[in-house]
Structure formats: structure tokens, C-alpha cells
Amino acid sequence: MLPYNKNLKTNARALRTEMTPEESHLWYDFLKKLPMNVYRQHTIGNYIVDFYIASRKLVIEIDGAQHQMAENKEADAKRDAYFQSLGISVKRYGNRDINRNFRAVCVDLLKTVEIAANEMKK
């Protein structure tokens, strides 16, 4: 079982209802249709991740422009190292990737979770 900070539960719930447009697009138009459980705004340790696929031990993060700033890149690297210490892989995509290359993001994720497109739920 993964570490869990119950104090983040309320924040995670609020983030689920206030997803960014890019998170909503990825969720409703792709991740929700995967033939596996995908959790939105999931708490792991002291962090809330955008999406988590437990069966693949995969975190998916959608990064806005603020993640390009040096201090945020450092914080992201620390988060990623923490997840990796738990055996969890991290895939990061920028908002720009979602908006301009959505199909490529989906294909990359299908390869990562090792399923064929024809296995997707309708």
C-alpha cells in the first residue's frame, strides 16, 4: 500500500472538480476510456498527482507554464525522485502537448501502459 496523507483528501477532491482544460481533455477524451482504473487527483504520500494508474505504477502529470521555472523544475525533480523510490514511473506532458499534439500524447501513453488502441472502451 502506498503512503497516503489523509489531510490532502479535501484538496484532492476539490482538484477533481476543478481540473484544468487540459486535464479534462485528457481525462474525458482518453484516460477514462482505458481498460484499467485511472485515478484523478490521487494522493500519494504528501503529493497530489494529476492521474495515477495503480496497475502500471504510473503517474501522469500535466504541466502548465509555471513548471518551466527553475524552482518548479527542482520541485518536480524531487517529486519524481520520491515516486521513483516507491517504484512508480512518471510521465509528464505540457499543456502545449495536450493542446497541439493530443494524438501523440495518447499514442505515447498507450505504448507506456502496453495496450493496443482497439482495447479502449467505447
- pLDDT at position 122 is 61
Separation between Cα atoms, residue 86 and residue 47, nearest integer Å? 13
Q: For residue 110, what pLDDT is reported?
A: 94
- What pLDDT score was predicted for residue 74? 79
- Cα(first)–Cα(last) distance of the chain, in Å? 31
pLDDT at 116: 63
* Residue pLDDT, tens place only, 66-104: 656 566 677 888 999 999 999 999 999 999 999 999 999
Quick one: 6-119 is in which CATH superfamily? VSR Endonuclease (3.40.960.10)
- 120 or 84, greater pLDDT: 84
Lowest mean pLDDT among 12-26, 42-56, 68-82, 101-115: 68-82
Cell of 92: 509528464
Q: Is the pLDDT score of 10 beyond 60?
A: yes
Residue 69 pLDDT: 54
92, 63 Cβ separation under 8 angstroms: yes
The predicted model scores a pTM of 0.89
| 86 three-state secondary structure | coil
What is the residue-averaged pLDDT of the chain? 89
Please report, for residues 1, 8, 25, 68, 102, the alpha-carbon distance to residue 62 in angstroms, rounded to integers and kept in the order given: 24, 19, 11, 12, 12
Burial class (CB in 10 A: 0-12, 13-18, 19+), 10: exposed
**The pLDDT of residue 51:** 97
* Domain residue ranges in the chain: 6-119
Kindly tell me the burial class for residue 59, based on how many C-beta atoms sit within 10 Å of its own C-beta (0-12, 13-18, 19 or more): buried
Under 8 Å CB-to-CB from 85, ≥6 apart: which residues? none
